[in-house]
């Protein structure tokens, strides 16, 4: 029995369950209880264990969107309550009025107001999390309980890692086999494709085993030994039974002559041709290359026993079969044993793949949310579990678990371990809030059985929210009538969980608060329920056509009528966005979308996988980017021009292929795009490409062209944001290639601006938690039978129907049909609606309408209409869009010379060749005696090396004192394809960390203050690179030849990243890593060679700019106390391959105080108000 919940007197201690039916104000109740927890409100039997801050009240829900909504609703409620207690406003509801009455004295009210205000201001740190985020935070904060926590990439799935694990096991298990063992393996698995499909189907979806070298070895040994034993047993069995089967088959052949009258066997049930096929299978099994199983059915085996043979003998005939037939039972048992062993081998193979997947994830520091839950669960059950439980109880004395019906057994086990549901302890509280009638996420590991188990644990402390605040009274009443009728019948109850006197999932009717507004159509109230019915036993396709047409027609007529929401007068007209069509899958969605399009009704399927990178245009845009990045590559250019997104005709493509002039023209435009990308970014480049070919205008003339244009524009903006974190066009291209190859659940979803005024087509699963003024359920009786789990299917379908019906605020429309699946008869009685209406199993179609009328009789708000075909088509004319204001004209000048500059842009004209691919394997190691000379050369190798140095600098180069650092380095190498060089890199980084840096002689390992990858931006005086070039050639190594800087005007901003800034003996230094290879050994790295490398690549300009950025930063930070001679040390180029050479790889740019002010004046803007 459950008690109605009163938010003012609900006991805020112990363990309690709150059942919140759809629309009954669950979030409002949560916020009210939160206010009481902050105040510590209540009498002795109702008060919480204390008054708590937001960081002590754990609120857990299952989506990020829900956490944001809850946080905001709670914060607003706290502020509203605080204002009431301060006397700044009057209470707006009975809860606040009663709460205020419980604090009659002004002093207690002031204290309460202070606590509420403090809590509202502390909501940024509130413990409101998704379950996954909370598990992750606990693991990070409590490493004592579960060992070392490694930062890991968190992903939604591991699908991209599964193929490698499957390939590994296929190679490891198959390649060593030969002979019979090899043949049996291939008989089981056929080929890798079949192997992959079967193993993936059985891989654990929500839990991977804990891997270790030992567990991998145990699994491999067990599989190998079992496979060997099984094949040996098969061989022995063949040797034993080959002569016996030959005798049995010879006897049978003799008893089945071609002439039917001469055979003693009944030719209807024991045909000679059929029996010879059985014998052929048995004889084939006896062969050395035969199958492991003769593949006879149970019935066929039974007919070959002595009793089975006698049963097939014709009247007046007798047979005298060999006694060996009586031993076939033992043969069958032996074959079944072999089959069981093969099943065990299959399970061991699945376990092996799961172990390999877990191992790979650990090596690349990858975790999904299930891994995080599993790890915390194991920590809570482990040897340090009690200490962890104590810590969490102190940290979160009270917990409110929202959407508890969607929890899993593991999640329940964790919560029970922490809060002990059975104990009902007064010093802590856990309150489980949910609605088991809406438990529909079984495919996400939600398990209604976990809810029922928790419900039993906290019995009898069950509470109900009894008032529906979402729907109008007639809608609430018709839903009550439907489910209450099924609940009151003898049997398992509305949701089919009742057994004898135990009803763990009862239906409780709710009251209706009603709504202030009313939906009127042509001045009359819209029926609360419209039932479109047919007695035609349609199959799936016919049902889709019939009900989709009727749904669209009803919807179209509603939109074309004068329908609107009224209070005392018209409040708002009914719009397409007020209507939602709920479906099960994309097939149902396609049917209704097609029917809507025939009536010109705009719609959007909100369950589309509309992530940006999943679109058909994304691969085409990748080709555009590749061709623009390499505009002189005709192969890439032709591939880009041939994309379907550009949509050029064959004639246009042929003209570019035949005419050199036309191709040169398009090539020149591609060069312009190349320069546009370099100067203004990828977004400007893509926009220029779109407008040059008039693509927006062309697309908007096409069906769904608005969506395509929006897709491309959103993707362009997304690429622009992403490029801000990457170095150059090539890095962006490589990133996009990786993303397209990796399954993702990117939050970047496509939404059109006009989607806001379209009919929503949405799956029932995605509609949960939402509400709509009018809801259509066109396929209410449609389902797919599941003979092996029909009861479970029906239970979930009933809950799905409940979720669908309770989304409506004002009106429902449902399509009801007898429905047949394939060759079956009418299946209406097996549907969720059929069960609730009380249809007898196998009921004829004619019973459908009387059942509907009986259930909702005496409800005038229910309207029945026959869904007959053909049906007229009512076209919809959308209301005209509001007139747009004229666009404002911008008359101000644009300074096209203003740009963002970097050292790379100053040296772009220098000869620089990049390898075709970033993989380390394409840079074969050169001979050398040390890792620094063996390590691959080139830009990609240098980029990878810089990344590892920045990572090591963040960890203070502590390779010698932190053993996990080397492990993490190897994992980083593995992730990026450099695992073959990991050992060399480890040794090299350790040498770099201990190398004395000139002129101080201090090693990187010993530097106390460092700042890696210092990003800087500073404004530039309008000048020319020739002036900067003249300054550097005059100041640094004068008289030495060097290539000129790229000619351009410097105006705008200079930006860059200094590899390492460090403080030593009160002076600041800039250090830049150089991975250039100047020779085959240490002797090649002389001072002359270092100087030549610096001047060839103009690194002296780079160091000067970095020192200028540091100079300007110190001027700001140190103010008037800054003295360049005293505080500015200099710049160092550290040639990493020469750290054991004559100069230890260091080349200095010394005495910056002598020239830094001159350079500053040269590049400082002349106009006031601009500084670094």
Check whether 939 is labelled as a binding-site residue: no
899 vs 681: CA distance, rounded Å: 11
Q: Name the active-site residue from 158, 371, 445, 1072.
A: 1072
Check whether 22 is labelled as a binding-site residue: yes
In the sheet that holds 398-401, the strands lie side by side as 3-4, 462-465, 14-20, 429-434, 398-401, 57-61, 128-130
Residue 559, Cβ neighbours under 10 Å: how many? Answer: 22
Which of 915-918's residues contact partners 24+ apart within 8 Å by CB, and which partners?
915/939, 915/940, 918/734, 918/943
Q: Which residue in 975, 968, 934 sits closest to 951, CA to CA?
A: 968
Check whether 1072 is labelled as a binding-site residue: yes
Check whether 1160 is labelled as a binding-site residue: no
69 vs 770: CA distance, rounded Å: 13
Check whether 1130 is labelled as a binding-site residue: no
* Strand 579-583 to 772-777 pairing: parallel
Q: Which residue in 57, 48, 61 sits closest to 78, CA to CA?
A: 57
Provide φ and ψ at 665, rounded to 5°. -65, -45
CA-CA-CA-CA torsion sign (48, 53, 58, 64): positive
For 1061-1116, give the DSSP string: EEEETTEEEEEEEE----SSSGGG--HHHHHHHHHHHTHHHHHHHHHHHHHHHHHH
Check whether 102 is labelled as a binding-site residue: no
Torsion angle in degrees (nearest 10) through CA of 344, 346, 347, 348? 90
Helix (H, G, I), strand (E, B) or coil at 814: strand
The verdict on whether omega for the bond into residue 1058 sits within 30 degrees of 0, i.e. cis, is no
Q: Which residue in 195, 193, 127, 196 sits closest to 159, CA to CA?
A: 196
Beta bridge partners of 760: 580, 604
> How deeply is 229 buried, as exposed, middle or buried, from its count of CB atoms within 10 A (0-12, 13-18, 19+)?
exposed
Beta bridge partners of 3: 463
1151 with 1091: CB under 8 angstroms? no
Contacts of residue 613, Cβ cutoff 8 Å, sequence gap at least 6: 715, 736, 739, 740, 744, 746, 748
Check whether 24 is labelled as a binding-site residue: yes
| 1072 carries an active-site annotation | yes
* Strand 1128-1135 to 1146-1149 pairing: antiparallel
SS3 content of the chain, % helix, strand, coil (to 5): 50, 15, 35
Helix (H, G, I), strand (E, B) or coil at 460: coil
Check whether 330 is labelled as a binding-site residue: no
CB half-sphere exposure, 555, CA atoms < 13 A: 38
Contacts of residue 772, Cβ cutoff 8 Å, sequence gap at least 6: 578, 579, 580, 760, 807, 808, 809
For 98-164, give the DSSP string: HHHHT--SHHHHHHHHHHHHHHHHTGGG--EEEHHHHHHHHHHH-GGGT-PPPP-EEES--TTTHHH
Contacts of residue 710, Cβ cutoff 8 Å, sequence gap at least 6: 750, 752, 753
Check whether 43 is labelled as a binding-site residue: no
370 vs 273: CA distance, rounded Å: 56
Q: What is the 8-class DSSP label of residue 567?
A: S
1137 vs 929: CA distance, rounded Å: 12
56 vs 955: CA distance, rounded Å: 33
1134 vs 953: CA distance, rounded Å: 14
Provide φ and ψ at 878, rounded to 5°. -60, 145
287 vs 496: CA distance, rounded Å: 54
Angle, vertex CA 909, rays to CA 903 and CA 911, nearest 5: 105
Binding site: residue ranges?
20-27, 946, 1059, 1072
Q: Which residues are designated catalytic?
A: 1072
Binding site for Mg(2+): residue ranges?
946, 1059, 1072
Binding site for ATP: residue ranges?
20-27
């Amino acid at each position: 029995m459950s008690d109605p919940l009163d938010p003012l007197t609900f006991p805020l201690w112990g363990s309690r369950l709150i059942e919140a039916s759809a629309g009954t104000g669950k979030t409002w109740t949560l916020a009210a209880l939160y206010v009481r927890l902050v105040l510590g409100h209540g009498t002795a039997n109702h008060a919480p264990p204390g008054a708590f801050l937001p960081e002590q009240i754990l609120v857990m829900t299952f989506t990020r969107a829900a956490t944001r909504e809850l946080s905001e609703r709670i914060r607003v409620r706290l502020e509203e309550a605080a204002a009431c207690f301060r006397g700044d406003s009057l209470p707006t509801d009975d809860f606040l009025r009663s709460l205020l009455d419980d604090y009659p004295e002004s002093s207690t009210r002031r204290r309460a107001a202070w606590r509420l205000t403090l809590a509202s201001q502390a909501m940024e740190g509130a413990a409101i999390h998704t379950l996954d985020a909370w598990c992750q935070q606990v693991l990070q904060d409590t490493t004592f309980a579960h060992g070392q926590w490694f930062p890991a990439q968190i992903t939604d799935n591991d699908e991209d890692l599964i193929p490698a694990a499957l390939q590994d096991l296929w190679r490891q298990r198959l390649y060593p086999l030969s002979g019979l063992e090899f043949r049996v393996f291939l008989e089981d698995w056929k080929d890798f494709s079949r192997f992959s499909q079967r193993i993936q189907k059985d891989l654990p979806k929500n839990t991977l085993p804990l891997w270790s070298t030992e567990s991998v070895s145990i699994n491999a040994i067990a599989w190998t030994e079992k496979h060997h034993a099984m094949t040996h047993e098969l061989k022995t069995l063949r040797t034993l039974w080959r002569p016996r089967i030959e005798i049995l088959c010879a006897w049978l052949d003799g008893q089945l002559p071609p002439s039917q009258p001469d055979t003693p066997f009944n030719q209807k049930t024991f045909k000679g041709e059929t029996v010879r096929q059985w014998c052929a299978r048995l004889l084939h099994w006896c062969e050395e290359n035969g199958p492991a199983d003769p593949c006879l059915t149970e019935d066929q085996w039974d007919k070959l026993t002595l009793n089975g043979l006698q049963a097939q003998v014709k009247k007046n005939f007798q047979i005298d079969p060999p006694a060996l037939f009586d031993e076939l039972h033992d043969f069958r048992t032996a074959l079944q044993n072999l089959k069981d062993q093969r099943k065990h081998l299959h399970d061991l193979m699945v376990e092996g793949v799961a172990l390999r997947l877990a191992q790979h994830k650990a090596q690349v520091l990858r975790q999904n949310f299930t891994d995080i839950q599993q790890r915390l669960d194991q920590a809570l059950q482990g040897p340090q579990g009690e200490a962890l439980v104590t810590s969490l109880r102190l940290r979160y004395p009270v917990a409110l678990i929202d959407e508890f019906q969607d929890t899993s057994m593991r999640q329940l086990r964790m919560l029970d371990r922490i809060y002990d549901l059975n104990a009902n302890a007064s010093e802590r509280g856990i309150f489980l809030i949910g609605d088991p009638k809406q438990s529909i996420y079984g495919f996400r590991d939600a398990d209604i059985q976990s809810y029922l188990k928790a419900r039993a644990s906290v019995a009898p402390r069950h509470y109900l929210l009894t008032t529906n605040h979402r729907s109008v009274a007639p809608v609430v009443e018709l839903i009550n009538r439907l489910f209450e009728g099924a609940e009151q019948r003898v049997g398992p109850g509305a949701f089919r969980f009742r057994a004898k006197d135990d009803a763990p999932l009862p239906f409780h009717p709710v009251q209706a608060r009603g709504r202030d507004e009313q939906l009127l159509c042509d001045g009359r109230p819209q029926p609360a329920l419209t039932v479109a019915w047919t007695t035609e036993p349609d199959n799936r396709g016919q049902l889709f056509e019939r009900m989709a047409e009727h749904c669209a027609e009803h919807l179209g007529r509603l939109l074309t009528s004068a329908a609107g929401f009224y209070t005392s007068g018209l409040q708002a007209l009914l719009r397409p966005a007020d209507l939602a069509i709920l479906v099960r899958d994309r097939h149902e969605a396609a049917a209704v979308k097609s029917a809507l399009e025939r009536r010109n009704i705009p719609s959007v399927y909100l369950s589309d996988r509309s992530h940006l990178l999943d679109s058909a245009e994304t691969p085409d845009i990748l080709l555009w980017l590749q061709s623009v990045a390499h505009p002189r590559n005709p192969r890439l250019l032709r591939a880009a021009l041939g994309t379907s997104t550009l949509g050029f005709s064959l004639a246009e493509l042929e003209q570019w292929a035949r005419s050199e002039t036309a191709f040169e023209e398009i090539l020149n435009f591609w060069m312009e795009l190349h320069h546009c990308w370099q100067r203004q970014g990828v977004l400007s480049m893509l926009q220029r490409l779109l407008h040059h070919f008039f693509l927006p205008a062309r697309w908007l003339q096409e069906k769904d062209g608005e969506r395509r244009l929006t897709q491309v524009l959103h993707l362009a903006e997304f690429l622009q944001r992403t490029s801000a974190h990457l170095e150059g066009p090539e890095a962006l291209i490589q990133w996009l290639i990786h993303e397209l190859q990796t399954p993702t659940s990117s939050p970047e979803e496509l939404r059109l601006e006009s989607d806001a005024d379209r009919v929503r087509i949405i799956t029932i699963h995605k509609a949960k938690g939402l509400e709509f003024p009018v809801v259509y359920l066109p396929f209410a009786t449609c389902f797919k039978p599941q003979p092996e789990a029909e009861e479970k299917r029906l239970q979930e379908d009933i809950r799905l129907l409940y979720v669908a019906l309770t989304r409506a605020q004002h009106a429902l429309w449902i399509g009801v049909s007898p429905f047949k699946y394939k060759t079956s008869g009418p299946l209406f009685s097996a549907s969720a609606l059929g069960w609730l209406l009380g249809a007898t199993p196998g009921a004829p179609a004619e019973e459908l309408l009387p059942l509907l009328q009986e259930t909702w009789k005496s409800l005038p708000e229910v309207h029945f209409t026959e869904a007959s075909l053909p049906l007229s088509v009512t076209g919809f004319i959308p209301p005209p869009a509001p007139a747009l204001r004229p666009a404002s004209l911008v008359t101000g000048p644009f300074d096209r010379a203003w740009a963002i500059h970097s050292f790379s842009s100053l040296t772009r004209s220098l000869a620089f060749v990049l390898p075709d691919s970033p993989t380390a394997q394409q840079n074969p190691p050169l001979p050398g005696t040390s890792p620094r000379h063996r390590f691959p050369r080139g830009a990609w190798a240098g980029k990878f090396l810089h990344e590892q140095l920045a990572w090591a600098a963040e960890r203070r180069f502590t390779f010698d004192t932190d053993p996990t650092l080397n492990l993490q380095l190897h994992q980083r190498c593995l992730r990026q394809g450099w695992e073959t060089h990991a050992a060399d890199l480890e040794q090299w980084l350790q040498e770099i960390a201990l190398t004395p840096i000139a002129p101080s002689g201090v090693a990187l390992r010993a530097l106390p203050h460092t700042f890696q990858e210092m990003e800087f931006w500073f404004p530039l005086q309008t000048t020319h690179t020739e002036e900067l070039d003249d300054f550097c050639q005059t100041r640094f190594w004068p008289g030495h030849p060097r290539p000129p800087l790229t000619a351009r005007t410097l105006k705008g901003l200079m930006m860059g990243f200094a590899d390492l800034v460090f403080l030593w003996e009160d002076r600041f230094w800039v250090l830049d890593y150089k991975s250039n290879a100047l020779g085959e050994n240490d002797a090649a790295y002389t001072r002359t060679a270092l100087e030549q490398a610096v001047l060839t690549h103009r690194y002296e300009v780079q160091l000067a700019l970095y020192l200028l950025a540091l100079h300007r930063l110190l001027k700001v930070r140190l103010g008037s106390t800054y003295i360049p001679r005293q505080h500015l040390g200099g710049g160092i180029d550290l040639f990493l391959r020469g750290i054991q050479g004559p100069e230890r790889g260091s080349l200095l740019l010394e005495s910056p105080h002598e020239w830094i002010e001159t350079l500053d004046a040269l590049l400082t803007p002349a106009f006031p108000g601009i500084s670094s």
